[in-house]
Chain A
């Protein structure tokens, strides 16, 4: 029982970081219909930048904030390349983001080296209901909850957020009322970058991150996003928590190397199930 609760808590913490990555996918996909393969790279940029800044003597908090800002800038740059040219079909944009993801390896190795990095998160641990867990777990959960609350307020209450939602539900109508859909696409990429960076900043103390960790992070985030059809952040959150807990249980009770397999098989089954409920032939979305 004790062990089960331990696994649950670590599963929820990693699940929260998946949720942030997944929300990044959702934020970008909703507005631009581009699935951003470089989403995992944002998390790596966030984690490695925070590590480097902490090493330079920046205090906790400031280093993480700057790192998230860098990831958001990276997101903006990816957006400029991927959708800056009008009329790129979404599938071409997918391959472009894949190219950027691979190209980012070169930049990351040059700046941060090719070794995995990690840094200490929140020190200490707390006992809740007889389970001791690192405070970093609680921090991850709290930050994720706050981020989701802020995102909800952003999308529902602010002008910019509502403009983004308008672009996602009907881009033509959004342009008719004077919303610049390309600029909104870039905003969504920057937002996706920030969310990915935040995930990386929180994840790096839990598990070391290296330049090519992005594939694993992106796969987990995408798997979580698939729960909500890559459109609904809250469903993605639920998906991410299910995924995180399932992986922690498999890693705990069976073999650690099966951990990633769970996410993959779950994702495949879910996607095929969703696809089988759709019409067998769809016209490609314009």
Chain B
């Protein structure tokens, strides 16, 4: 990237960061809730994008990790009285551990086999949660999850959603920052080699299996953390909150933003969440048929996924970057041609 390009990137990043920090002040409570959901989705998609973009693995089971994180955090805090922050940390670690155990056999699969395997994993997780009625409340769900608290300071009252928004976005920013540093580090170079050619990376001495498993575990950890925060935020979770469609939604966000693109996770999560919210608002207008919101969201998921893959297979952010890069290259050539003349 050129110096100018990098400077442009820094400016855009700074603008987005300031905007993210200021935005909650202008939003009302229901808008803030959407804001929180975008932040949570950004965390999950940051992991999925890394997994799909660099390890080349499709996962249709991120919703399962989200569920595992949510239930672990909720059960630890509600039944054992573990302080919520500690419960969040434990939920993140537990989700990553589950991913390692599941990933050891499953990551031998690739492509469509892995896609179906992760989908199957999510269905199994959902049915286990549904069956363990004594612990999880089964299909009825788990109400009364305590709110986040640090020591005696519990997150309640008028500013609850407002503060949650900042917590969620701080975590999302951390996830994105971690991704950025990871991609630029030595393991990141190994991951990029892995993305280009698995046999090539193996021949160059990259421990392919171990790296894949680590990225899988990291992506699960992000999803687990987001799930834990989700449980504390809503204080009620049920298997129905984590349908297969949720995993597909994460996949759509990652694809739209651009696989392997760090900021793509943010863009994809924002674009899709806002689009679905907008359509839900249109669908619930008076005079609309009862099933209009569902029809709209399914149609949009389908159309967006198909159109992006056909027209912009690399995703929004990389496509825009390529367009800008091309323009800069052209102007640079023109400038040097002008100097020569």
Instruction: Give A residues with C-beta under 8 Å from B.
Output: 35, 37, 81, 85, 88, 90-92, 94-96, 98-107, 109-110, 113-114, 215, 219, 222, 226, 257-258, 260-261, 264-265, 267-268, 271-272, 275-276, 280-284
* C-alpha gap A137/B245 in the complex (Å): 33
Interface size on B, residues (CB 8 A): 45
Contact (Cβ within 8 A) A281 B198: yes
User: Which one of A95, A99, A109, A276 lies within 8 Å of B58 (CB-CB)?
Assistant: A95
* C-alpha gap A265/B295 in the complex (Å): 32
The segment from B31-39, B79-87, B93-101, B119-127 found at the interface with A is: B119-127
User: Which one of A107, A272, A281, A284 lies within 8 Å of B106 (CB-CB)?
Assistant: A272
* C-alpha gap A37/B111 in the complex (Å): 13
Which residue in chain B gives the minimum CB-CB distance to A34? B112
User: Which one of A88, A215, A265, A272 lies within 8 Å of B109 (CB-CB)?
Assistant: A272
Contact (Cβ within 8 A) A102 B301: yes
Which residue in chain B gives the minimum CB-CB distance to A105? B298
Which residue in chain A gives the minimum CB-CB distance to B302? A103
* C-alpha gap A267/B306 in the complex (Å): 28
Please judge, given known A-B contacts A91-B58, A92-B313, A219-B116, whether A268 and B106 are in contact too, CB under 8 Å.
yes
User: Which one of B116, B127, B251, B302 lies within 8 Å of A106 (CB-CB)?
Assistant: B302
The smallest beta-carbon distance between A247 and chain B, in angstroms, is 13
Measured between beta carbons, the chain A residues less than 8 angstroms from B108 are: 272, 275-276
Q: Is the interface of A mostly helix, strand, loop or mixed?
A: helix
Contact (Cβ within 8 A) B309 A265: no
* C-alpha gap A103/B306 in the complex (Å): 9
User: Which one of A96, A105, A258, A283 lies within 8 Å of B306 (CB-CB)?
Assistant: A96
Contact (Cβ within 8 A) B117 A109: no
Mask for B7-28, Cβ within 8 A of A = 1, else 0?
0000000000000000000000
Contact (Cβ within 8 A) B130 A98: no
Measured between beta carbons, the chain B residues less than 8 angstroms from A109 are: 291, 294-295, 298
Contact (Cβ within 8 A) A99 B305: yes
Measured between beta carbons, the chain A residues less than 8 angstroms from B119 are: 215, 219
Please judge, given known A-B contacts A95-B58, A219-B116, whether A85 and B248 are in contact too, CB under 8 Å.
no
Contact (Cβ within 8 A) B111 A94: yes
Instruction: Give B residues with C-beta under 8 Å from A.
Output: 58, 105-106, 108-109, 111-113, 115-117, 119-121, 123-124, 127, 130-131, 198-199, 202, 208-209, 244-245, 248, 251-252, 255, 291, 294-296, 298-299, 301-306, 309-310, 313
The smallest beta-carbon distance between A258 and chain B, in angstroms, is 8
Q: Is the interface of B mostly helix, strand, loop or mixed?
A: helix
Contact (Cβ within 8 A) B127 A271: no
Contact (Cβ within 8 A) B245 A268: no
Measured between beta carbons, the chain B residues less than 8 angstroms from A260 are: 123, 127
* C-alpha gap A91/B208 in the complex (Å): 20
Contact (Cβ within 8 A) B310 A81: yes
* C-alpha gap A197/B302 in the complex (Å): 21
User: Which one of B106, B112, B130 lies within 8 Å of A91 (CB-CB)?
Assistant: B112
Contact (Cβ within 8 A) A257 B248: no
Measured between beta carbons, the chain A residues less than 8 angstroms from B115 are: 35, 37, 94
* C-alpha gap A222/B305 in the complex (Å): 22
The smallest beta-carbon distance between A248 and chain B, in angstroms, is 18
Measured between beta carbons, the chain A residues less than 8 angstroms from B202 are: 281
The smallest beta-carbon distance between B190 and chain A, in angstroms, is 15
Measured between beta carbons, the chain A residues less than 8 angstroms from B112 are: 35, 90-91, 94
Contact (Cβ within 8 A) A99 B302: yes
Contact (Cβ within 8 A) A257 B299: no
User: Which one of A91, A114, A264 lies within 8 Å of B291 (CB-CB)?
Assistant: A114
Q: List 20 A-B contacts (CB under 8 A).
A: A90-B111, A92-B313, A96-B309, A99-B309, A100-B306, A101-B302, A102-B248, A102-B302, A103-B298, A109-B291, A109-B298, A110-B295, A215-B123, A215-B244, A264-B123, A268-B121, A275-B108, A276-B108, A281-B199, A284-B198
